[in-house]
Structure 1
């Protein structure tokens, strides 16, 4: 990297962090979590706003040569964060009985219903608008859109759960578990579509078998080995730098495996967090790493993806109609189906509604999938722009939706005594 390019990259980093903090302050006044500000920062600094107003300045500050560095920093940020989420999730899961069964049923409902609605909506749009049919054909395009519509953005979901104070609660644990299953299934589906269209490098069979082996090694070899290492090092001061190096090496290795298998790095990081044995040294490490990972590295992940998004294609009535149809299929399919699935297990409408609202979060993981579809010819630029808007809207809906459920529950409690049980949702 030349001196000029390094200067541009550093200026780019400064601009992202400053704009992100400013938008975070604005979003806080609108009762939106910082993750929404990070998503909007990327879109604002990309071709959608900055590139439209000052195209030459945008190209100078964000040259293509600096994108790989931004990408690497973003992936490191999301890897550290999802590892921390996996640690908390494993502790929460061990506290409750029957939560895994609930996670699976909520995930299945939240995948199947929006997938079918997404495919049906796409088929109807393709029949009326032939220009929206992708190069690879209408069937492949419709199936891919169904997969994209059924995605829950696990990293964004995790951040919202933490920022709302739900991390460790029954609601947050169910949503995180279902979101993790959704993510694995979605990336397997994307791998299948890329294979069928000769666009993928790893077959779905290799991905599934490879992930099974990865999980077996992680829980059958790595976890016992770490327990033995931590027991031997108890009472000694060798768990400082050496422990930091060990955790980072394992984290990067886990992310490399899942990325090689065609899954996202968040799967490897989250799985390692689930498998990692808890002890005092790990608690000290997480307390040290979390501020830097969340406050500095993680915004690069959201901003980089936003830089690849151009929503200037919106403008016609047909485009708006498509956005509304996809939005209806996404919200009804995801929020409605997940709420119904959770309500079937526990007759707590507030908890079920919160789970449904959380699962409806899509965010930039959906944008990543959309960019893959656009690059491989599974999506046209028109459909891509429509679904980008849907991803933003469904993410912005999450915080107001949770606040609405909490207000309704408080009013209900004021009118009469609520039934309190082991499945009662925690309100913040």
Structure 2
């Protein structure tokens, strides 16, 4: 396709969309329900196509899981690339007025995905490596907050990175939470793909990652409370979360067990059982959202206490493909629409972005490696743990989206943190194979990575 043909296509597409898009100023444009649906279905078609293509290229060229390609595809569809090259078409395809619809779909996708992650979690793993996991987890939280305390005073001097009037304490806590996060869904997928599910390394990493993420979300609740929502928000979020988890610990398995028995008796999951399960998922996500934590933790926590066996297998067959292929890509695109790499447009800002990246790797990879060594793990295992814990992926995008939505950070810092999330996530699998996986497979400690499994969605 020649440049002239491409320009004609862009002009035609933009003109066709303008009947439903921002062809007139937002102040006078009125959106009817049909306008939203026109954009939504077209947006979804473009998102699915872009995510599958970029994900496939990532697998073939860079040996990266599908989720990394989808993270990059979201940035490509936003103002950082498509919006930079063809701004009219990008604005016509993703007008500001339709972003709330996309946001709702994105939250459904990410919460449902975390529900599926919770279904696969083995609680018995958390009892076998408690001491080492506690040390790695503590190091993976303390070091990031110390690094955040060191760099935040400088970041506050740069206009536009944080909200005006934010206190140094709040800014430090938010940066610490961002650096301390581990991509728990990504970590669980890598551990399964690399044959580590029953290994001490996999158990330790998964346990420490779960604790680190929980600590980061508790800190975020405190930041939201002291940033202007009132101290009651932190009390409600942390207290409500603890009570909800406690309720599920003591009563969840018993109350949910009949669902598993019904599936076992029928040999399949009926529409009624599926409806009850999805109702419970939505109610759990609503509760955690309502108390100020996030809907994804409602989905994840409920998934942990759901029946196992045939129930999980049936639910995976019915729900997981829709969650992963249709809904989750909306979250990556919504994040990409808020990412403005063109705002990192000076040597100073570029150095800051690289500094945040380097500090994040040092705080997470370095601290978790040192803690694992201190607890008696050999050098290769400690390096493998550090490589896995350094991945931030989906969880990072979630927390920085909340920070941007609540006005804690500006678009420039948001874009820097997106870059950090993508780079540390892309590092995880290759670095793990380099420092641990290849030698472990050569010595017979681990089996070969199944080809199809390694290329599956992350």
TM-score interval, normalised by the smaller of the two chains: 0.7 to 0.9
The alignment partner of 1:57 has SS state of helix
Q: Report how many aligned residue pairs link the two structures.
A: 416
The alpha-carbon deviation at position 238 of structure 1 amounts to 8.3
* 2:36 matches 1:5: yes
Partner of 2:21: none
Q: Is the CA contact 2:43–2:94 (under 8 Å) kept in the aligned structure 1?
A: yes
| Structure 1, 263-272 or 11-20: larger mean CA deviation | 263-272
Q: Identify if the C-alpha distance between structure 1 residues 36 and 10 changes in structure 2 by more than 3 Å, giving closer, same or farther.
A: same
Q: Is the CA contact 2:339–2:411 (under 8 Å) kept in the aligned structure 1?
A: no
Report the Cα distance in structure 1 between the residues aligned to 2:233 and 2:439, rounded to whole angstroms.
47
Q: Is the CA contact 1:19–1:41 (under 8 Å) kept in the aligned structure 2?
A: yes
* 2:50 matches 1:19: yes
Structure 1 residues 195-234: aligned runs within 5 Å: 195-199=225-229, 203-228=233-258, 230-231=260-261, 234=264
Q: Identify if the C-alpha distance between structure 1 residues 13 and 377 changes in structure 2 by more than 3 Å, giving closer, same or farther.
A: closer
Partner of 1:344: 374
* 2:361 matches 1:331: yes
The alpha-carbon deviation at position 130 of structure 1 amounts to 6.7
Partner of 2:420: 390
The alpha-carbon deviation at position 266 of structure 1 amounts to 2.2
* 2:383 matches 1:353: yes
Partner of 2:323: 293
Partner of 2:282: 252
* 2:105 matches 1:59: no
Partner of 1:44: 76
The alpha-carbon deviation at position 180 of structure 1 amounts to 2.1
Report the Cα distance in structure 2 between the residues aligned to 1:371 and 1:270, rounded to whole angstroms.
19
TM-score, normalised to structure 1, is 0.87
Report the Cα distance in structure 2 between the residues aligned to 1:307 and 1:172, rounded to whole angstroms.
34
The alpha-carbon deviation at position 168 of structure 1 amounts to 5.1
Unaligned stretches of 5+ residues in structure 1: none
TM-score, normalised to structure 2, is 0.82
| Structure 1, 79-88 or 130-139: larger mean CA deviation | 130-139
Q: Is the CA contact 2:116–2:303 (under 8 Å) kept in the aligned structure 1?
A: yes
The alpha-carbon deviation at position 12 of structure 1 amounts to 0.8
Q: Identify if the C-alpha distance between structure 1 residues 31 and 326 changes in structure 2 by more than 3 Å, giving closer, same or farther.
A: same
RMSD: 2.8
Structure 1 residues 4-403: aligned runs within 5 Å: 4-28=35-59, 29-90=61-122, 93-94=123-124, 97-126=127-156, 129=158, 134-135=163-164, 136-167=166-197, 169-199=199-229, 203-228=233-258, 230-231=260-261, 234-236=264-266, 239-403=269-433
Q: Identify if the C-alpha distance between structure 1 residues 233 and 398 changes in structure 2 by more than 3 Å, giving closer, same or farther.
A: closer
Q: Identify if the C-alpha distance between structure 1 residues 53 and 335 changes in structure 2 by more than 3 Å, giving closer, same or farther.
A: same
Q: Identify if the C-alpha distance between structure 1 residues 228 and 174 changes in structure 2 by more than 3 Å, giving closer, same or farther.
A: same
Q: Identify if the C-alpha distance between structure 1 residues 186 and 380 changes in structure 2 by more than 3 Å, giving closer, same or farther.
A: same
| Structure 1, 207-216 or 339-348: larger mean CA deviation | 339-348
The alpha-carbon deviation at position 224 of structure 1 amounts to 0.5
Report the Cα distance in structure 2 between the residues aligned to 1:30 and 1:103, rounded to whole angstroms.
31
